[in-house]
Amino acid sequence: MFKKILILFLLYTISAVDVRAEIYKNFTPYQTLKEIKQNYPNAKFEDLKAAWVKEDEYFLSLSGVGISGKIYLKMHTLDGFRKKALENIEKNYPDKDSEDYKTNAKFWLEKLNMPLEERIYLTWVRWIPADKIPFARVEGKYGKPTLCGFDDESFSPYCSWDEKGVMVFQTDDRKEVVFIQYTFTSDELEKALGNPEEPQQQTTKKPNKKKR
């Protein structure tokens, strides 16, 4: 029952389209912070207190020798969802001695009691290269963008390839790329779901869009 609820929750919160995205390096859906640190054992991770970060969200920088430029990771937990699920179990199972109650309550309590690094999941990746990249080179790789516009807050020009989960922010003349952001599509998330113990909440931070 709860697995079905979790899958529906995942599908409801996914905003990308159902095709394969362009994955950056070895970052994949459902990766925990613990797994990422295992892939980058000598990297420096810094928890950035960005103004837009909400409860159950994290924004980290990843840097180190051998990494070109800087990598930023938007991550989140499902602690709020888990706590709500536990509350529902308490309400819906009056018999606290029943096996169903014990099994379900134990499942969610164990999840909530895991170390934090095992409860934080990757949402999206932002790469800021050491040197700006010619936009023509990016367009040559990904083709014509789905949309180009200006961010409402910073008025920075950007282009996005929605079917690939790629977005770039550009210099004012649109000739160079300042940074690239990679997200996961719903198709990738569903495929990665397989038989995981629980799903990922996909909450992608995108710019406020103005078409050019």
Shared domain for 8 and 104, answered yes or no, is no
| DSSP 8-state code for residue 117 | G
In this model, does residue 194 exceed pLDDT 70? no
Final residue in a domain of this structure, among 70, 99, 118? 118
| DSSP 8-state code for residue 141 | H
SS (H, E, C) 47-116: ECCCCCCCCCEEEEEEECCCCCCEEEEEEECCHHHHHHHHHHHHHHCCCCCCHHHHHHHHHHHHHHCCCH
Q: Which residues constitute the domain of residue 18?
A: 2-78+119-211
- Per the prediction, the chain carries an average pLDDT of 83
Say if CB 182 and CB 127 are below 8 A apart: yes
| DSSP 8-state code for residue 32 | B
Shared domain for 74 and 101, answered yes or no, is no
In this model, does residue 5 exceed pLDDT 70? no
pTM: 0.75
Shared domain for 160 and 73, answered yes or no, is yes
In this prediction, residues 25-33 reach a mean pLDDT of 89
Shared domain for 167 and 106, answered yes or no, is no
> How far is residue 78's CA from residue 199's CA, in Å, rounded to a whole number?
9
Shared domain for 86 and 186, answered yes or no, is no
> How far is residue 70's CA from residue 127's CA, in Å, rounded to a whole number?
6
Place of tokens 């925990």: 32
Shared domain for 85 and 33, answered yes or no, is no
Q: What is the pLDDT of residue 6?
A: 46
> How far is residue 118's CA from residue 135's CA, in Å, rounded to a whole number?
37
Final residue in a domain of this structure, among 118, 147, 178? 118
In this prediction, residues 11-26 reach a mean pLDDT of 51
More confident residue, 10 or 84: 84
Select from 127, 122, 204 the least CA-distant residue to 169. 127
In this model, does residue 4 exceed pLDDT 60? no
Q: Are strands 70-76 and 121-128 parallel, antiparallel or unpaired?
A: antiparallel
In this model, does residue 77 exceed pLDDT 70? yes
> How far is residue 74's CA from residue 58's CA, in Å, rounded to a whole number?
6
Select from 83, 39, 36 the least CA-distant residue to 58. 36
Final residue in a domain of this structure, among 61, 87, 118? 118
Shared domain for 132 and 36, answered yes or no, is yes
Shared domain for 155 and 140, answered yes or no, is yes
In this model, does residue 199 exceed pLDDT 80? no
Shared domain for 42 and 142, answered yes or no, is yes
Total number of domains in the chain = 2
Shared domain for 70 and 133, answered yes or no, is yes
In this model, does residue 39 exceed pLDDT 80? yes
Residue 129: pLDDT band (50, 70, 90) is very high
Shared domain for 183 and 152, answered yes or no, is yes
Q: What is the pLDDT of residue 21?
A: 54
More confident residue, 146 or 19: 146
Burial of 113 (0-12, 13-18, 19+ CB in 10 A): exposed
In this model, does residue 16 exceed pLDDT 60? no
Say if CB 131 and CB 193 are below 8 A apart: no
Shared domain for 14 and 32, answered yes or no, is yes
In this model, does residue 40 exceed pLDDT 70? yes
For the stretch 133-183, pLDDT in tens is: 999 999 999 999 999 999 988 899 999 999 899 999 999 999 999 999 999
